[in-house]
Amino acid sequence: MGVFVAGAGHLFMDLVRVETRLWNAVDARLQAEHGLRLGQFDLMTVIAGRDDCRVLDLVREIAITVGAASKSVDRLVAAGWCHRLANPADGRSSFLELTPEGNRVLAGARHAYEEEVAWWTSRVVPRETLAQTADALRTIRAALEDAQGAGGD
């Protein structure tokens, strides 16, 4: 399975703790400034970036369950940020699309998201190190997605 790297367990714990704290910081800012949770921002970003986005696309992209994705979309619909459109090729599924209000909220939140992430990353870590870290994380993510099936099901 590969060579054990000393400290890999510590790396994993640091990664989890950084992710949790960074998530909380970005989430708090998005809530305060835009009334939007980071999870909602993530879903809306995926929906906005895909033509004919379906709940299963969210499941694969974000690595959450169908139930969690469906409930999350229901909340976006209830907030007026998203609507479901009938899929003419498959009556059992629907396409997701942001409403004009959803697009407005997402556009407004993007700057706060990018600024907050930059504050906690590029302000404290050199650009080259961040680029190497991003490459390493993409490699690990791709290996996990390959091993677990597309999207981690």
Structural domain boundaries, residue 51: 24-124
Q: Considering the domain boundaries, does residue 144 fall inside one? A: no
What digits encode the pLDDT tens for the residues 17-40?
A: 999 999 999 999 999 999 999 999
Q: pTM of the prediction?
A: 0.85
Burial 68-107 (b: 16+ CB within 10 A, else e): ebeebbeebeeeebbebeeeeeeeeebbbbbeeebbebbe
Model confidence band, residue 153 (pLDDT cutoffs 50, 70, 90): very low
- Tell me the C-alpha distance between 68 and 17, whole Å: 23
Shortest CA distance to 55 belongs to which of 91, 148, 64, 144? 64
The CA-to-CA distance between both ends of the chain, in Å, stands at 21
Q: What is the CATH number of the domain that holds 54?
A: 1.10.10.10
> Does pLDDT of 4 surpass 80?
no
What total number of domains does the chain contain?
1
